[in-house]
Amino acid sequence: MSEPIDEILVDNHRNAANAELEKIQSFTGKYPKQLWYLFTVEMWERFCFYGMRGMLTVFMASQLGLTDKAANLQYGAIQAFVYAFTFLGGLFADKILGFRKSLFWGALMMIAGGFIIAAAPEKFFYIGICFSIIGTGFFKPNISTMVGQLYKDGDSRRDAGFSLFYAGINLGAFLGGIIMVWVGLHESWSLAFGLVGVAMSISIVTFWFTQKSLGPIGLSPLSITMPASKKRMYEIATYVGSLISIPLILILVKNSNYTDMVMYIVGPAAFLYVLYEMRKYDGAARKKLTAALIFIVFSIFFWAFFEQSGGSLALFAFNNLHDSLFGINIDPNVVNNSANSLFVIVFAPILGLLWVWLAKRKKEPNSGVKFGLGFLLLAAAFYVFYYTINFANEQGLTSLEIFTLGYFIITFGELCLSPIGLSLMTKLSPQPMQGLMMGMWFLASAYGQYAAGLLGAGMSVASEEATAYEKLVSYTNGYQQLAIYAVVAGAALLLLSPVIKRLMGSTR
């Protein structure tokens, strides 16, 4: 008799959850109220992430004694592991924890990581980074997936919602890029890293008090008929397993030579696993997932170029820029770590509303075209970074204004790709695979970050005695090459866009 009773319980639970979800998704206006809550939670996490990102290469070069080349490689390795773990975080959320518990666990790990480094930055840097890597893996893909579930399939407001959410990401990035970097460079590295623990505490408390508004979104994927003790066992095993992995991650992170081995294994294994999961769905769903994989592959190249901001561009700002912006004295690294975010905050909601306006008139470009435009704008930005050499003096210092213009242009390229990509992973993926595919999206970022480190190292001058002008020439020549590669990738996407559109079916 237990089986029919179990089926009734499951049906009743599913019907109640669907009714509650329908209520959430039937919101009026342009944005659901829950989006603002998730916006705030993500804002504080991104405060930590981008603040840390802005400090990494400068901290390693100035405090740990790494050369520019070694710092670039180490930066790429750390960022690659951060994003690689988002694949595992999305997988465990889909299968065991659910998005909410994954988010809580990730936040706790990041809080621990920040305070560990703060205790003794030079001594505990790599240990704390390991906690941050695991924490970001559990946190990042799952909050983005919850944003997607606020919308019904086919809701044209979804891209606008992700653009607003992306503005929240960059508000945190803007504040973190200014505050944490300034505190680290001019006050105390311990205090700067300690801000991670403080900001993530605010994030997790905010989510705790607003999560009830999410209804069934993000709850455990395990069957309600499964014994509570068994569920708890799975959850504890996940938590313990992530802690046990820290010594292994520490070995991998401290020696960037191991990064090659990990990247050669993780990506192909993840891709094969996605293909295995795709077998469970019909032809239309598989076509959409194929389109998602195409976007994911191209995003690797985008992030490889874009993420020079945390590597070579950070060192470029440190060594080769005047400290005056339109007559105002300002640290060039603060500009490097905040200009892009400020521009996103201003223009992301506007561009999101533009997509809605165009959609209503059936003139919105398809996602393949948006991605292609993103690459062309990226190319224009890197040509501007290259062009700064024409404003350099004999000491190798060049215009901060022209450098900032490059970030203004790169912002629009990012807005044509990144929030659209987040939205696409939720639109093109069946619900049971949304966490997994969001993890794949961020895993692509891992490969982009890894490649960014290699590209940055390749642009670095080998000699430790190199002058600032020699570094300027080396980096700007590299930026010119990246501009050319971005044009090629953008043109390829524009040519492929009709094929991608057919694969996506009715999805825009």
- Token pair in block for residue 235: 């959850």
- Token pair in block for residue 40: 């705030």
- Token pair in block for residue 103: 């988010």
For the chain, give the mean pLDDT: 84
Average pLDDT over residues 40-45: 88
Paired strand residues for 398: 321
pLDDT digits (tens, 9 = 90+) for 483-494: 999 999 999 999
Q: Is the pLDDT of residue 132 over 70?
A: yes
**Angle, helix 400-415 to helix 418-427, in steps of 10 degrees:** 20
Q: Is the pLDDT of residue 9 over 60?
A: no
pLDDT at 379: 95
Q: Is the pLDDT of residue 417 over 80?
A: yes
pLDDT at 171: 84
280: left (phi over 0), alpha (psi -120 to 50) or beta: alpha
Paired strand residues for 328: 325
Angle at CA 224, nearest 5°, toward 222 and 230? 60
Q: Is the pLDDT of residue 2 over 70?
A: no
Dihedral sign of CA atoms 434, 164, 45, 259 in order: positive
pLDDT digits (tens, 9 = 90+) for 142-189: 787 788 888 887 777 777 787 778 777 778 888 887 888 788 888 889
Q: Which of 204, 255, 249, 162 is nearest to 48 (CA)?
A: 204
Q: CA 38, CA 36: separation in Å to the nearest integer?
A: 6
pLDDT at 422: 80
Residue 9 · residue 135 · CB < 8 Å? no
pLDDT at 201: 93
Phi–psi pair at 325, nearest 5 degrees: -120, 105
Burial of 249 (0-12, 13-18, 19+ CB in 10 A): buried
29: left (phi over 0), alpha (psi -120 to 50) or beta: left
Q: CA 135, CA 133: separation in Å to the nearest integer?
A: 5
Cα dihedral value 271, 276, 277, 283, nearest 10: 100
Percent of the chain at pLDDT > 70 equals 96
Q: CA 484, CA 233: separation in Å to the nearest integer?
A: 52
pLDDT at 488: 95
pLDDT digits (tens, 9 = 90+) for 324-369: 888 888 888 888 878 888 888 888 878 877 877 887 888 878 888 8
pLDDT digits (tens, 9 = 90+) for 453-477: 788 878 876 566 778 888 888 888 8
Q: In 3-state terms, what secondary structure has residue 398?
A: strand
pLDDT at 380: 96
pLDDT at 6: 58
Q: CA 250, CA 243: separation in Å to the nearest integer?
A: 12
Predicted structure pTM score: 0.73
Paired strand residues for 12: none
Residue 394 · residue 469 · CB < 8 Å? yes
DSSP 64: S
- List the domain boundaries for the chain: 32-504
Percent of the chain at pLDDT > 90 equals 24
Residue 316 · residue 149 · CB < 8 Å? no
Q: CA 504, CA 62: separation in Å to the nearest integer?
A: 48
* Residue with tokens 């989006």, as numbered in its chain: 35
pLDDT at 12: 64
Q: Is the pLDDT of residue 124 over 50?
A: yes
Cα dihedral value 231, 236, 242, 246, nearest 10: -170
* Chain CA centroid to CA 506, Å: 27
Secondary structure tally for the chain: helices H, strands E: 18, 2
Picking from 108-117, 310-319, 455-464, which range would have the lowest pLDDT averaged per residue?
Answer: 455-464
Average pLDDT over residues 91-102: 85
Q: Is the pLDDT of residue 3 over 60?
A: no
Phi–psi pair at 155, nearest 5 degrees: -70, 115
Q: Is the pLDDT of residue 1 over 50?
A: no
pLDDT bracket for residue 11 (50, 70, 90): low
Cα(first)–Cα(last) distance of the chain, in Å?
A: 47
Picking from 3-7, 192-196, 501-505, which range would have the lowest pLDDT averaged per residue?
Answer: 3-7
Q: Is the pLDDT of residue 385 over 90?
A: yes
Residue 53 CA neighbour count, 13 Å, CB half: 32
pLDDT digits (tens, 9 = 90+) for 74-94: 877 787 787 778 778 878 888
- Token pair in block for residue 469: 């002008």
Picking from 12-16, 47-51, 176-180, 288-292, which range would have the lowest pLDDT averaged per residue?
Answer: 12-16
pLDDT digits (tens, 9 = 90+) for 186-218: 888 999 999 999 999 999 999 999 988 888 888
pLDDT bracket for residue 378 (50, 70, 90): very high
Average pLDDT over residues 291-299: 92
**DSSP 3-state percent helix, strand, coil across the chain (nearest 5):** 85, 0, 15
Sequence-distant (6+) residues with CB within 8 A of 366 are 497, 500, 501, 504, 508
Average pLDDT over residues 22-47: 86
pLDDT at 455: 85
Could you tell me the CATH superfamily of domain 32-504? MFS general substrate transporter like domains (1.20.1250.20)
Q: Is the pLDDT of residue 506 over 90?
A: no
